[in-house]
Structure 1
């Protein structure tokens, strides 16, 4: 996640530079260097504000020469992996300037965009499913009692779904902008990063959170595995369509059955949150209804795209 965040920040900075005609060089490496310098200046560092940072840079930059940097390189040993930072003693106790020593792959985090994307699903779940659990949606206290866990879980799922979509998104050909040039050159790196995230137990951080709260059980684990299988099938089918290859109807039907795994996760979580035994008849009914809804949605999309305009 940390690598992805850094790539996105660099991409945004390059786009910002181009929008202000601030492109000092035609070489990508030079532009990336300037972009990284801008990002460095924007990072918090104790009590320094932007004006103080700018004055420091103006004062000391003329004193930095090639020979000074060469001598500095003899004093400072860089690790081959720039992501590995050496711990530095900070007598002031301020750690603002130091990178946080956090293994982001082990921490369940969600972004604002994922929360916004999950919003419509959460609203639908509250309106359509709470009544099956005896929860009155007209009583805010009842909703917000369970909403944090449900919202965090659904947002995390949407975040992973966004990564799955990025794997299949190919930069537009023919766009020669600086940002697109950077995107094309790094597309393979992005794709590999996203694929690794999705293939190496992507739900583990979320499962850890649920387990610590005593909410995790085997059925919820199984539904998360269904989610991983669904994304794998989605990638397989999309690639087949992109390359005009034959697709398996069995794969399509399986994907449709798996697609609403998040609703099943939310239902199972709500049973756990309320301390109730799972009603298997209820879950079977919901699974069948979700399957019909998915088919209906796909048919509607097909009709819309096949209608002459």
Structure 2
């Protein structure tokens, strides 16, 4: 799968990119499940394959896909979802894997039960009025950077990747926003170039295209304009620019965000790199 188009750099050098590195399908019932291994780093190394995975919902895995996770030797499943989502659809955990909840949104209003919201047509129309869906997504991305719940959860995600059992997978429901920012943090700490990080972020759109089309059709059937909802179902470069702008506003730089925002110790970052990067040639 690819995200093709002409590069259009933004404030952070973010633009549409030409291709996606890890574009193979691994799980039929979780299309946004993918290996973060194989990406090259700025110092010429590569992330080890088969150690670090990102994903969408893992509650609807069929038996074949559950068996695939067992063959991968998965030892840790990290669930970034809210209590609403976890109670409605519990993860299917492969044998031998530990399950850990790191709720990045907690009780913040951006972490509400969106499925329930769209079942209430009037409430949905109020939220969506005047380009409300796009405003909501920008708020989500600022929250993922600045909220206490998010900082605590992402710190532990980094620490577990550096020191916990591997292989691991971290996921939310669509695997695009909460999981997307988690992947941005890990890939950046591992030294992956910014443009490649953005490429990985945007890959969710093509991987989730079938689910997005189904959701838009369902929403239209409830009397809601699907185009008003589309911004919630996609990742966009502008969302990521908002997250990076919030990093700069609150901390001045990504390094300071990691150190003073997430409170990740430098030795943890070093352990992460030592563990997940292939030896230099």
Normalising by the smaller structure, the TM-score range is: under 0.3
Identify, as 1 or 2, the structure richer in helix.
1
Q: TM-score, normalised by structure 2?
A: 0.27
Higher Rg: 1
Say which structure, 1 or 2, has more relative contact order (CA 8 Å, 6+ apart).
2
Q: TM-score, normalised by structure 1?
A: 0.25
